[in-house]
Structure formats: structure tokens, C-alpha cells
Amino acid sequence: MEQEYKRLLVPVDGSQEADLAFQKALKVAVANHARMDILNVLDTKQFIGSYGGMISGDAIYQLTQDAQEYLEGLESRAKDEGVTDVHIHVRFGNPKNVISTDFPHEYKSDIIIIGATGLNAFERMLVGSVTEYVNRTAPCDVLIVKGAPKN
């Protein structure tokens, strides 16, 4: 039996891999006449400044505005490609938890389409890949979109 996906979650962070996942999600959404939720998670750990203090409220506001504008651009692209049911979301928290459990449970996502990685190799070694965590813990199917092989 062929799986039809009706509620797609596409987490994006501005990386090339996230854009490739978004492009793949566009095709899946159009083919399945599916709802597309485009999600950007602002990692609250990043709100701690260099010396352990919190970054300013103005800086957090600007990060939120930048994320919203980025998502609005993707929303426009999705509509231009024929996705009629598209929603954008900015969330705060740990990206691993928000993407793998919080958001899919709240919005009943039946597939997460995510880029292979957005972190550099050193960060992946220390904290583990968000994609790896999502793949292990998500309550729904996960499609991992890989970029072109690097030489």
C-alpha cells in the first residue's frame, strides 16, 4: 500500500541542506495535496552571551523578525510552486525536541522532511546531529535529504 502524506513538517535553518529538503518537500506537498508546515526553531541556548549573560531583548526580537522574514520568503515560494495549504512557524527551544516531538504531536505531522545536517563536523561530534536525533525519536516517518557529495 502506498503511503500518502497529508501533513508535512519541514524544519529549516537557512543551510543549503535545509533548502534541499524544502525543495523535496514542495514536490511531496504538491503530489499529495498536503498541508506544509515550515518551521524555524530559535535555539534558546544561543541567547546566552559570550560571558554567560543573556543577550538583549532587542537582539532576540531581531532574530525573531529575521526568522519570520525568512519563513515568509519560503511560504511565498511554496505558494508559487502550487502548495495551497502552507503555514509558517517560529518556535523557541531545543531544536531536537521541538522538531522531533513537540511540533509533530501538536500538528499531527505524518512526515518530517529534513536536511541531512546543518551543523559542522565538530559540533556533531560534541552534541550530535539534530537530524540524527529526529530520525531516532520522531513519532512519524522521517525523510532525510542529503546534499551533493563533497569532493
pLDDT digits 0-9 by tens, 98-127 = 999 999 999 999 999 999 876 555 555 554
Q: State the average pLDDT for the chain.
A: 88
Residue 48 lies in a domain: yes
Residue 60 lies in a domain: yes
Residue 114 lies in a domain: yes
Residue 123 lies in a domain: yes
Question: What is the arithmetic mean of pLDDT over 8-26?
Answer: 95
Residue 25 lies in a domain: yes
Q: Which pTM was predicted?
A: 0.88
Q: Which long-range contacts (CB under 8 A, 24 or more apart) does 99-102 make?
A: 99/9, 99/11, 99/39, 99/41, 99/130, 99/134, 99/138, 100/133, 100/134, 100/136, 100/137, 100/138, 101/137, 101/138, 101/139
Print the domain residue range for 130: 7-145
Residue 151 lies in a domain: no
The CATH number given to whatever domain includes residue 70 is 3.40.50.620
Give the per-residue pLDDT at 121: 58
Q: How far apart are CA 129 and CA 134, in angstroms?
A: 9
The count of domains in the chain is 1
Residue 37 lies in a domain: yes
Q: For 52-82, write each residue's pLDDT tens digit.
A: 666 777 888 888 999 999 999 999 999 999 9
Classify the phi-psi angles of 113: left when phi > 0, otherwise alpha if psi is within -120 to 50, otherwise beta: beta
**What sections of 33-149 are H helices per DSSP?**
57-80, 95-97, 103-107, 121-127, 130-137
Q: Which strands form 7-11's sheet, in the order they lie side by side?
A: 85-93, 35-43, 7-11, 111-115, 141-145
Between these two residues, 69 and 132, which has the higher pLDDT value? Answer: 69
What are φ and ψ of residue 122, in 5° steps?
A: -65, -45
What are φ and ψ of residue 148, in 5° steps?
A: -65, 145
Residue 150 lies in a domain: no
